[in-house]
Structure 1
Amino acid sequence: MASLPTKMKGVIIEKTGGTEVLQYKTDLPVPSPGDGQVLVKNDYVGVNFIDTYFRTGLYPAPKYPYILGREAEGTVVKAGSGELYGLKEGDKVLMLSEGTYAEYTAANAVKAVKVKDGLEAKVGAAALLQGLTALTLIREAHPVKKGDWVLVHAAAGGTGLWLVQLLKAVGANIIGTASTQEKVDLARKAGAEHMINYSHEDVKSKVMELTKDAGCIAVFDGVGKTTFDLSLDCLARKGSMVSFGNASGAVPPVTIGRLSAKNARLMRPTLFNYIATREEFEHYVDELMDFITEDKLDARIHETYALSDVARAHNDLEGRKTTGKLLLDPSK
């Protein structure tokens, strides 16, 4: 392997705020892999709402300056010591790691896996965090069965499209919501047979019409503040209300007694608590990659942005201007 540079491109924040706090640097130090780590030269980096949560301060950064990012695909260029789960220099890998908004990331090997043969470039970075989120939601947050009526908010968004495709693969009856005809058409093409354009249609009325007033046994809500009450209204008796994101802001405190009207379950899961162990991580990555290759799931990529254009990527994501996945190219 060629000698490594000492400096790299990357994006840091030194305080919280809007996109003006994103600092593109060309002279950040290249990290060294520690015990149980591999140094990865990133080819493509995923952009996720969680990145905006750290930028705005909704989630606290562990330190400043802080390199954003949670996932990437790339090549191992240096191996650290300790347990590396068979990873070595030259391996193409997918990984969940902090600090991926950069050319190089020292990633914990426990959350990195080799790219499966035949997987096209960009697909891994586009699929990993959102695809695993969707898969663990339908397997663990509410184990969805064939024939279940399920509501997915923001069905044309990144995680929404994964939810729709996976729910279709397991035989659920899918109701999706979206704000424009373009997004309605996209989610319908992905497998959401019943779509509601909430810009001019009443979501609750449509859900009750489709389910013959029973409601949905599961609601997957990544929008948060603006849809929480609506989600509870659309829930069936003994249904699961799964709030997994804050795209519109954090959900205010909830009076627990509200759940008794339907004997409802309320969950606020995070992906990382479903894949805490190596065994769990490998299990769900393998299952997700099988869905992608065997069921031909589409890792729809909205756009690949230059790393230096990260502010536009965040603005597009937060402004609901996107469908599918946003990627960053750290070489630019």
Structure 2
Amino acid sequence: MKAVTISKNGGPEVLELKDIKLGEPKSGEVLIKNEAIGLNYIDTYHRSGLYPVELPSNIGIEGAGIIEKIGPDVKDFNVGDRVAYASMPIGSYATHRIFPTKKLVKVPNEIELENVVTLMTKGFTVFYLLHKTYPVKSGETILFHAAAGGVGQIFCQWAKSLGCTVIGTVGSDEKVDIAKANGCTHVINYSKENFAKRVKEITNAEGVPVVYDGVGKKTFDGSIECLKIRGMMVSFGNASGPLDPCNVTKSLAPKGLYLTRPSIAHYTSTKEELDEAAKKVFEMYISKKFTLNIFKKYSLNEIVKAHQDLENRRILGPAIIIP
């Protein structure tokens, strides 16, 4: 098999494609031939060391493929099953891998494997943001940063289907139309406008009950400003860099705000939670509550370029790797 590995933390150049020999699946494990692999911003955090992993390490958390072998005592999965995953253990950037069944889901026949890897991490993220972390209500006006990105495109469509008015921010004019096409009622280019001031204008100075922020350092203070009394700041990413320490007295106390830092792992820690998330995401996609278009496909040989494009914001929507 071939797999992408890192022996040190750093930029995209530390990614290496190597030949690796796999063993046999053990109890509770299966051998999967990957057909498609997810490309996610969290992969850059593992590579850079922002989210530390033990080195040397494989990389990637999301993939979909066909089971080729099953280990002892595996009862819920069979050879030939179409499956997908989006969690640790790390190592999806590979042609094949061994993976625990407790973190696997079966893929409905209505969904292509190339599409399902745009649904797992991104779709699961949208599910927990909208239904678990801050369960939105129809009629609410909410703010989502990076509305034209892979998560944003799913989020805005999904939120609109629930009856929300979505204010989206983007970083360039070319992304404004993408955000509008995917469900945003209002779009703010925060590289040109003060987004907090604009949100206040849109909401008649009331503010929003929740801000979903995957951008991080650049948008945190403005996001706090956008919130109404007792609003919730949902910080779930660091695309612009890691957050500075939060001054609770300065940032949260004046309006009695809530601050949370959720991740998929917090909402899929049991097989029951994982299956609940997968069922909802697949239902929403099959029923066309949201659609998606794969922006670009990379090969494993192009993995350095894929990470360069990801970090330089050249990817305008879901992108995948074909092993």
TM-score of the superposed pair, with normalisation by structure 2: 0.96
Matching residue's letter, 2:254: A
Partner of 1:181: 173
Partner of 2:85: 95
C-alpha distance in structure 2 between counterparts of 1:215 and 1:319, whole Å: 31
C-alpha distance in structure 1 between counterparts of 2:171 and 2:239, whole Å: 14
C-alpha distance in structure 1 between counterparts of 2:31 and 2:113, whole Å: 19
TM superposition shift of 1:296: 4.1
Matching residue's letter, 2:120: L
The secondary structure found in structure 2 opposite 1:43 is: strand
Partner of 2:247: 255
The secondary structure found in structure 2 opposite 1:220 is: strand
Q: Which runs of 5+ in 2 are unaligned?
A: none
TM superposition shift of 1:265: 0.5
| Alignment pair present for 1:109 and 2:128 | no
The answer to whether the 8 A contact 2:168-2:179 is kept is: yes
TM superposition shift of 1:141: 1.2
Partner of 1:218: 210
C-alpha distance in structure 2 between counterparts of 1:293 and 1:263, whole Å: 40
| Alignment pair present for 1:164 and 2:156 | yes
Matching residue's letter, 2:139: G
The answer to whether the 8 A contact 1:169-1:295 is kept is: no
C-alpha distance in structure 1 between counterparts of 2:42 and 2:25, whole Å: 24
C-alpha distance after superposition, 1:105-154 (max 9, x if no partner): 11111111111021124110111001101110111111111011110000
| Alignment pair present for 1:291 and 2:281 | no
The answer to whether the 8 A contact 2:161-2:289 is kept is: no
The answer to whether the 8 A contact 2:158-2:289 is kept is: no
TM superposition shift of 1:83: 4.5
C-alpha distance after superposition, 1:42-64 (max 9, x if no partner): 00000111111011000111x32
C-alpha distance after superposition, 1:192-220 (max 9, x if no partner): 11111122222112101111101111100
From 105, 124, 129, the equivalent of 1:137 is: 129
C-alpha distance after superposition, 1:219-262 (max 9, x if no partner): 00000111111110111111110000011111011111121111
| Alignment pair present for 1:67 and 2:61 | no
TM superposition shift of 1:182: 2.2
The answer to whether the 8 A contact 1:33-1:79 is kept is: yes
Larger CA deviation: 285-294 vs 296-305: 296-305
The answer to whether the 8 A contact 2:215-2:239 is kept is: yes
Report the number of matched residues: 320
Percent identity among equivalent residues?
40
| Alignment pair present for 1:41 and 2:33 | yes
Matching residue's letter, 1:227: T
Q: Which runs of 5+ in 1 are unaligned?
A: 1-7
C-alpha distance in structure 1 between counterparts of 2:93 and 2:304, whole Å: 12
The answer to whether the 8 A contact 1:46-1:326 is kept is: yes
The answer to whether the 8 A contact 1:31-1:105 is kept is: no
C-alpha distance in structure 2 between counterparts of 1:306 and 1:115, whole Å: 23
Matching residue's letter, 2:230: K
TM-score of the superposed pair, with normalisation by structure 1: 0.94
From 21, 32, 37, the equivalent of 1:29 is: 21
| Alignment pair present for 1:230 and 2:230 | no
Q: CA RMSD in A?
A: 1.2
Partner of 1:242: 234
